């Protein structure tokens, strides 16, 4: 059950970090704060907010925290966290592909209804 929960945690983090656009908004906010406080203009695309800025880092740390909190801190679960974090870019790509297919089906249904 812990592995399945870690997988779902990975999917949620990949969605939030890579697909939702929240990280772009956070980087813009940080760039604006830096500009207001220091007067230095920073391009938000150049900011990296480690360890939450990329899905690989976020999945790694979230899975490690999860196995520690659930008292399952073993080498097997640490390896699973490493594998899930390694696959985070593939999972994000899969989520984006599913989104594109859903948009395609929606457009097809709209054309079908409009006829």
User: What's the pLDDT tens digit per position in 48-70?
Assistant: 888 888 899 999 999 999 999 99
Confidence of residue 86 (pLDDT cuts 50, 70, 90): very high
Average pLDDT over every residue of 79-96 = 97
Closest by CA to 52, choosing from 14, 96, 84, is 14
Output the pTM of the full model. 0.84
Average pLDDT over every residue of 76-83 = 98
Q: What was the pLDDT predicted at 48?
A: 85
Q: What was the pLDDT predicted at 96?
A: 95
State how far the Cα of 115 lies from the Cα of 113, in Å rounded to an integer. Answer: 6
Closest by CA to 26, choosing from 3, 72, 58, is 58
Q: What was the pLDDT predicted at 50?
A: 82
Half-sphere exposure of 66 (CA within 13 A, CB side): 22
CB 49 within 8 A of CB 23: yes
Q: What was the pLDDT predicted at 1?
A: 94
Question: Which residues fall within 8 angstroms of residue 88, CB to CB, at 6 or more apart?
Answer: 10, 13, 14, 18, 55, 56, 58, 59
Confidence of residue 77 (pLDDT cuts 50, 70, 90): very high
CB 37 within 8 A of CB 78: no
CB 10 within 8 A of CB 56: no
| Model confidence pLDDT, tens digit, residues 14-36 | 999 999 989 999 999 999 999 99
The average confidence (pLDDT) of the chain is 94
State how far the Cα of 110 lies from the Cα of 115, in Å rounded to an integer. Answer: 9
């Amino acid at each position: 059950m812990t592995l399945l929960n870690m997988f779902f945690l990975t999917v949620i983090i990949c969605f939030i970090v890579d697909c939702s656009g929240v990280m772009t908004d956070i980087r813009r906010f940080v760039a604006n704060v830096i500009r207001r406080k220091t007067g230095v203009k920073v391009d938000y695309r150049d900011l990296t907010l480690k360890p939450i800025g990329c899905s690989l880092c976020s999945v790694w740390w979230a899975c490690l925290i999860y196995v520690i909190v659930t008292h399952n801190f073993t080498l097997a679960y640490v390896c699973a966290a490493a594998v899930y974090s390694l696959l985070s870019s593939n999972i994000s790509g899969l989520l984006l592909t599913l989104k594109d297919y859903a948009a395609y089906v929606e457009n097809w249904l709209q054309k079908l209804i409009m006829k």
